[in-house]
Amino acid sequence: MKVKIVKNNPFNLPAFETKGSAGVDLQAYVQEPVTLKPMERMLVPTGIFIEIPEGYEAQVRARSGLAIKHGISLVNGIGTIDSDYRGEIKVILINLGDKDFTINNGDRIAQMVFIKHERPEFELVEELGDTVRGAGGFGHTGE
Ligand SMILES: O=c1ccn([C@H]2C[C@H](O)[C@@H](COP(=O)(O)OP(=O)(O)OP(=O)(O)O)O2)c(=O)[nH]1
Ligand SMILES: [Mg+2]
């Protein structure tokens, strides 16, 4: 599978860090360091633009090291990059930690995973099929 990429940053192309890595890291492309105070959020530019084949999406996900060490998370949980999006990939970071967190140009702030997805046809019906679970959810089977 091929992904076209345009970049206006001076960094290397995104790359898989190890043979088994599922995602490529996304680097912050900022003119000067930016500091996120606790609970502050920011749309962080990456300087990359991609064209994903139809039937695929890219998911922007947090990096666990930043999460555990600094409380850095994504406000949108997982960012969805649509195959028809041609804008800059941006990362919606939030500092859930209790200390200021500084982002320097080139810092690896998140990762991006490429996923195949379905686009189902919706069939309007009066009733859904029976199951043992039925409408039970949200912990109804116990802890
Ligand atoms: O973390 C993210 C999430 C989204 N996007 C870009 C790519 C995506 O294709 C577009 C729209 O994202 P989404 O559909 O999640 O946002 P929306 O609020 O529904 O905006 P829209 O109405 O433009 O679809 O924004 C990012 O760069 N980073
Ligand atoms: Mg949308």
Q: CA 106, 108, 113 angle in degrees (round to 5)?
A: 130
The pocket around ligand 1, CB under 6 angstroms, is made up of 60, 76, 79-82, 85, 89-92
- Residue 64 in marked binding region: yes
> For residue 85, which atom of ligand 1 is closest to its CA?
9
Counting ligands in written order, which one lies closest to the CA of residue 84? 1
Residue 92 burial (CB count, 10 A): 16
- Whole-model pTM? 0.95
Query: Which ligand 1 atom minimizes the distance to the CA of 88?
Result: 27
Rounded to whole angstroms, the Cα distance separating 79 from 85 reads 13
Q: Is the ipTM of this complex over 0.90?
A: yes
* Res. 140: pLDDT tops 90: yes
φ, ψ at 60 (rounded to 5°): -95, 120
Confidence band for 143, pLDDT divided at 50, 70 and 90: confident
Q: Given pLDDT bands bounded at 50, 70 and 90, which one contains residue 45?
A: very high
Mean pLDDT of the chain: 97
